[in-house]
Structure 1
């Protein structure tokens, strides 16, 4: 798979990542590696994706780490050291959110500040103020790319209604702006795939954590700044890639809603996941 070795005049040899060095040692272009992976039964890797992995702009998922280790014949501790050092070396200090109002305000702030990406994971959202905030931002910013990944069907009818409103606002199959701007998928119930909850944009992210005030409350979370938030956007992309697509009104209406808002009898703080 010989090809012309790609030059990167702005990078010194020491600055070139081990992942890029492995490709250049073949030598092969980004496109040649992608085609080779596809022939081996691993489609879906684009030249842009591979370049982002090499530069550390995006973190390679466990699935593709294994694929690339087998392809290059090198261990993950070598190939992906540049990505892992960047993650553990961040100087950002996360902030603990305690109390329903702080958590609520932080999640709505993530939504309202999103300019490029807004990702939400979880199937238990039931707070209409939070869900309407998402809809308002998507209506106002046509190029904002939104990912909503469910883990199992919606637990509440209000979330199901929200998904239908998203499909009224955006057509997931529309590419008039040069890219897909609405992504809705569901990881089917699987004991081996734990449900995840987070709300993130390119600038900040909120990840709910078990309550530090009581066993019953949903009132605690961690607020992260841009460096970690960008990684959670990647996390959502990877979840969506593995999800079953739920991107028509018919598909959403066919989903069962396990509970409804009116079925909640205890005064539990609003779940905004």
Structure 2
């Protein structure tokens, strides 16, 4: 029996086509991911490719196209194990169980965001260009200062909308040099997504938890509600931020930060984080 031109015998038949074609090309997970990231400009790692191969997670469209290009195979064959009616990612299978808490007050939202930051030990992703809550920004700076192995990704969607965020970016660069490596790993990434018309995404995520603010339940101008999410959703959002930062324009020098214009316009309501 063959599939994708690869002989299938014995226990190999239990592997997905995505895994079998990688093995047929004699690629390790790390080697395949390196080639994948060259195509996408992203920051996927071996753990994600392994999860895609096993069906624990679904592959996004950009990486599907790139893997099809890399392996020279049709996506409907490579990802059949993810798309079949009887298969689902761990995240999909858990459904609403990934929601830890609905936050309906600004104080609860801020507390949860600070909690996610304080609990980060491996990865911390912060996105958006509107942050100005002093306690939240100080919590991020404290985490960067106190956790030298923490890899921090800061993704901007357009220039900062508040002077407080610009000052925060400067302080991050004072705390860490993005050019340095710890144990061979770059631990500070600051980038701005372009073009500026790209839809702004706002969330904070660590390896164990995340907070995503939805539209306010109380009014059009409020920033006072959120969803606290558990590990499975948080891991996916960390990857989202890593890929967004990898394809963003680096803003990793004092000069680059200070050259960013403040975006003037409608003044957001008090309480916007």
Normalised TM-score (structure 1): 0.81
Counterpart of 1:185 in structure 2 is 191
Q: Tell whether 2:159 aligns with 1:153.
A: yes
Aligned with 1:137: secondary structure? helix
Alpha-carbon distance change, 93 to 74 in structure 1, aligned in 2, over 3 angstroms = closer
Say which of 89, 92, 100 aligns to 2:93.
89
User: Could you say which residue in structure 2 is the equivalent of 1:19?
Assistant: 18
Unpaired runs of 5+ residues, structure 1, are: 6-11
Q: Which runs of 5+ in 2 are unaligned?
A: 1-5
Q: 1:207-251 deviations in whole A, cap 9, x for unaligned? A: 000011122211111110011100000000110111001111111
* Residue 119 in structure 1 maps to residue 125 in structure 2: yes
Contact 2:33 2:44 (C-alpha < 8 Å) held by counterparts: yes
Paired position in structure 2 for 1:28: 26
Counterpart-to-counterpart distance in 1, 2:225 and 2:64: 33
Alignment of 1:1-273 (within 5 A): 13=12, 16-24=15-23, 26-30=24-28, 48=46, 50-51=49-50, 53-55=52-54, 60-70=59-69, 71-75=72-76, 77-78=79-80, 80-81=82-83, 85-90=89-94, 92-94=97-99, 95-191=101-197, 193-259=198-264, 268-272=269-273
Alignment check: 8 A CA contact 1:58 1:234 kept: no
CA distance in 1, matches of 2:139, 2:41: 36
In the TM superposition, what is the alpha-carbon distance from 1:204 to its structure 2 partner? Answer: 0.5
> Normalising to structure 2: TM-score of the pair?
0.81
Given that 2:98 and 2:232 are in contact with CA atoms closer than 8 Å, whether structure 1 keeps it comes out as no
Cα distance between partner residues in 1 of 2:35 and 2:190? 30
Q: Secondary structure at the match of 1:28?
A: coil
